[in-house]
Amino acid sequence: MNQYARMIIVLVIISMASGAVLALSYEATNPKIQEQARQKLEQSVLVVIPGATLMEEVQKDDMTFYIGLDDEGNKKGIAFKTTGSGFNGPIEIMVGYDPKEGTLLGIEILSMTETPGLGAKIQEEPFKGQFKGKSVEDEFIAKQDVEAISGATISSTAVADAIKTSLAKVVEIYPVGGDF
């Protein structure tokens, strides 16, 4: 067998073997990966809507909403995702909102790459917790009605701004006092 043919045969066999191994491991892990992603999403929705034990996905306009339901099927609130421009990259936030009262139920940081020890404190309760009960009428300005983390004004502003902008859109879809 000449050198040239052998070269091609070896390459083809190795690529095919590699493809087979990859397809098999993808088949084996994919259900688990999907499940993990779904679980993570559901968990964050249930955290930002207190009292909810189940969630339901709804598409309205070009936004995805997650409606939180309790055991009896009562609607406890809606949740939606928004993204802010942080210090080192995007900050993904899940926001819980009660359209009846026009107030926030809570927020959760889904992913971020802020500075550990400074901007990363947006994930901690003292910062996250202050959004609970805030009204859609509020200004959401860091250092005024939103307490900024000292040394991390940009990260704090990014979260506040992202919530404010997305709320303005959400209020048009789910007006305050209306049903959802």
Q: Which residues bind other proteins (CB under 8 A)?
A: 3, 6-7, 10-11, 14-15, 18-19, 21-23, 25-26, 29-30, 32-33, 36-37, 40, 83-91, 111, 115-118, 154, 158
Residues in contact with 166: Cβ distance below 8 Å, sequence separation at least 6, in sequence order? 80, 82, 95
CB of 129 to other proteins, least distance (A): 22
* Pick 38 or 169: Cβ nearer other proteins: 38
* Pick 5 or 71: Cβ nearer other proteins: 5
DSSP letter (8 states) at residue 163: H
CB of 154 to other proteins, least distance (A): 5
As a whole number of angstroms, the distance between CA 127 and CA 49 comes to: 17
Scored b (16 or more CB within 10 A) or e, 150-166 reads: eebebbbbbbbbbbbeb
CB of 85 to other proteins, least distance (A): 4
DSSP letter (8 states) at residue 68: E
Cα→Cα distances 72→22, 76, 122, 131, Å? 45, 11, 34, 27
* Pick 88 or 130: Cβ nearer other proteins: 88
CB of 100 to other proteins, least distance (A): 33
